[in-house]
Amino acid sequence: MTSVETRPVLRVERICKKLGGKQILNEVSFELRKGELKVLIGPSGGGKSTLLQCINFLIPPDSGRIWLKDQEIHIHRKRDLYAYRQKVGMIFQDFNLFDHLNALENVAIALRKVKKMAKREALERALQELNRVGIGDKAALYPAQLSGGQKQRVSIARALAMDPEVMLLDEPTSALDPELIGEVLTVIRNLAQDGMTMILATHQIGFIRGLADEILFMQEGQIIEQGIPLDLLTAGKSSRTQSFCSKLHELSGEQEL
């Protein structure tokens, strides 16, 4: 776990969201500080993915407020929202790469289109980020030529290239074969140790045990329990989190690093 500053980088206050007439998020609030890794866990349908998408305004919240540092984000102020999304990177379950671009171009395209970098500068930075996640040697390969773990590392490199202040990771290993999970978890571990500020939704409980600064347990659209891993995951604890994780471990046998 890394040391964190006291002033929140991201503040989420009373976020609510209905989809299809169902209450998916019900007044969710929390704060995230610089260098902190918060982990969202809980049963499927509990609202984890929707919360992350609301934080990035990919799904607009019905109500509630979000601040990045001291600036409140208003979805109708397009310029502010555009700038905010550059500072809050999002990693999805299904990679979202451009099939017609190779790995290097997938990372460089946002630098060219959004940050208006010259082509050569963008490609140099893209290669730097691919090296950072351990696949610089795959720069010329297209998504169809990459494994799932390599695709996810390209998507992480693409987000890192934008110099985000916060990264949101929505179960980044859920679409991967078991033998490929470890390579993505290694990248996330390295980012955490380097001080990247992150919110991670995951079922990789063994991985987060020694890495998370705080666990937020979500169920039925609410954070029903939160605390440090030592308090929530220690064997014999009567927490809802410990009960859920014990059942999850019995069913799946997670991968640890």
pLDDT digits (tens, 9 = 90+) for 88-113: 999 998 889 999 999 999 999 999 99
Query: Does residue 79 fall inside a structural domain?
Result: yes
DSSP state of 195: T
Considering the domain boundaries, does residue 2 fall inside one? no
User: What is the average pLDDT across 44-68?
Assistant: 94
Average pLDDT value over all residues in the chain: 89
Residue 204 lies in a domain: yes
Q: What mean pLDDT is predicted for residues 19-26? A: 94
- DSSP annotation string for 205-248: HHHHHTT-SEEEEEETTEEEEEE-HHHHHSTT---HHHHHHHHH
Across the range 228-248, mean pLDDT stands at 71
pLDDT of residue 251: 46
| H helix intervals, the chain | 48-55, 78-87, 103-113, 119-132, 148-161, 178-193, 205-209, 229-233, 240-252
Note down the domain range covering 12. 8-252
- Tokens, residue 102: 């190779």
Edge-to-edge strand list for the sheet holding 22-33: 22-33, 8-19, 63-68, 71-72
CA-CA distance, 79 to 257, in Å (whole number)?
41
**pTM for this entry:** 0.89
Residue 1 domain-assigned (yes or no): no
Does a structural domain hold residue 151? yes
Write down the pLDDT at residue 208.
Answer: 82
Tally of domains within the chain: 1
Model pLDDT, residue 44: 86
- Which amino acid, residue 155? S
Q: Is the pLDDT of residue 192 over 80?
A: yes
Residue 178's pLDDT is what?
A: 84
CATH of the domain at 167: 3.40.50.300
- pLDDT at position 162 is 95
What is the predicted pLDDT for the residue at 229? 85
Question: What's the CA gap between 254 and 205, in Å, rounded?
Answer: 7
Q: What is the pLDDT of residue 113?
A: 92
| Residue 3 belongs to some domain of the structure | no
- The pLDDT, as a whole number, for residue 257 is 38
pLDDT on residue 254:
44
Task: State how far the Cα of 254 lies from the Cα of 233, in Å rounded to an integer.
Answer: 14
